[in-house]
Amino acid sequence: MAAANARAAEGFDIIHLEVGQPSTPAPAGVITAARAALETDRIGYTEAFGLPALRRAIVARYRDQYGIDLPERRIAVTTGSSGALILSFLAAFDAGDRVAFAAPGYPGYRNILAALDIETISLPARREDGFQPTVELLEALDRPPDGLIVASPANPTGSMLDEAALRRLVDWCRANGVRVISDEIYHGITYGKEAVTMAALDPAAVVINSFSKYYSMTGWRLGWMVVPEDLLRTTECLAQNLFISPPTLSQFAALGVFDCTAELEANVARYRENRDILLEGLPRCGFGPFAAADGAFYIYAGIEAFGADSAALAREILETAGVAVTPGIDFDAGAGGRFMRFSYAGSGEEMREAVRRLQSWSQGRNRR
């Protein structure tokens, strides 16, 4: 993103396919709720786990979306999903513990765990498995890890696990004393498949979600956790000391987002159209094969046809085609050099223009 912004500052027209955030602003109901809060509330601290009204709204969301009833006490509103990751790792693990996750995967897992002196285990996931963790990968370890992070839909691949696959992982983890951390921040952004929440499968799992992606509230820095009973007091004490409370204005604003379904679903419809544009156009540019992009707003594409590593190729595409993409090495230190992530959270016009530029760049490269 920094390189793309620097290029744009020099006057170049850049199409941003590297940014993992919605291009749309927060829904109208969020803005209305925020204005009302500014006029009527002093915007002081809230409870460490957030506004009771917002926690009740999240409970209602789980009831309506997944058909499960969660006690309000298990909902912790957090400073983004990043704050939830920090709290969950600190509450569930000790320094020296081992936590596994699929590679490719969100780099924040590895970096936050390393900062907390927790050992990271990258599971070399296969495209045939959607680059998702499997019981076979876990059984291949010398001993069970202390934790497993699961993301469905996943970043950078957009792949998903169905209920049977999730249950198989949960059963193995339960039998081997492994705590599951379920990253569900892309729930709501799916195409033809229903996302399954770990909260319905494993009461010992920590479930993390966010207002950033489906709800289009990235800069408001608000997320939440479903906390297991045995970690409630630990998580609350950590939240009090590390964050005091989540951003109060953002919490009041989020109360308005649950009435914005039509606007939010229109965003998802646009993502679906953008996904189809790239899935049809990228192979013509030489990219592929892909992981199954069943959710989120990413395509993780092979780049072996270009004979270059992903970081060098991303620089070349930015400088030559004016398209910013994310090198796979960001998500997988091992095999990531052979992949590129494309984000399709922008407009349809941007996706079509990106394909046009990439095709022209690819053809020109082949002629050299």
Span 210-255, pLDDT tens digits: 999 999 999 999 999 999 999 999 999 999 999 999 999 999 999 9
Is the overall model pTM greater than 0.85, yes or no?
A: yes
Span 96-132, pLDDT tens digits: 999 999 999 999 999 999 999 999 999 999 999 999 9
Please determine, for residue 367, whether its predicted confidence score (pLDDT) is greater than 80: no
Please classify residue 345 by burial: count the beta carbons closer than 10 Å to its beta carbon, then call 0-12 exposed, 13-18 middle and 19+ buried.
buried
Cα separation of 232 and 244, whole Å? 16
Please determine, for residue 186, whether its predicted confidence score (pLDDT) is greater than 80: yes
Q: For residue 368, what pLDDT band results from cuts at 50, 70 and 90?
A: low
Q: Which CATH number fits domain 30-259: 3.40.640.10, 3.20.10.10, 3.50.50.60, 1.10.760.10?
A: 3.40.640.10
Compute and round to an integer the Cα radius of gyration of the chain: 21
Mean pLDDT of the chain: 96
Residue 260's SS3 state is coil
Cα separation of 249 and 175, whole Å? 43
Q: Which residue has the tokens 């590895």?
A: 110
Q: What are the structural domain ranges in the chain? A: 2-25+261-367, 30-259
2-25+261-367 and 30-259 agree in CATH topology:
no
Span 305-339, pLDDT tens digits: 998 899 999 999 999 999 999 999 999 999 999 99
| The pLDDT value given to residue 257 | 98
Phi, psi of 181 (to 5 degrees): -110, 115
Span 123-181, pLDDT tens digits: 999 999 999 999 999 999 999 999 999 999 999 999 999 999 999 999 999 999 999 99
Residue 164's SS3 state is helix
Q: Which fold has domain 2-25+261-367?
A: Aspartate Aminotransferase, domain 1 (3.90.1150)
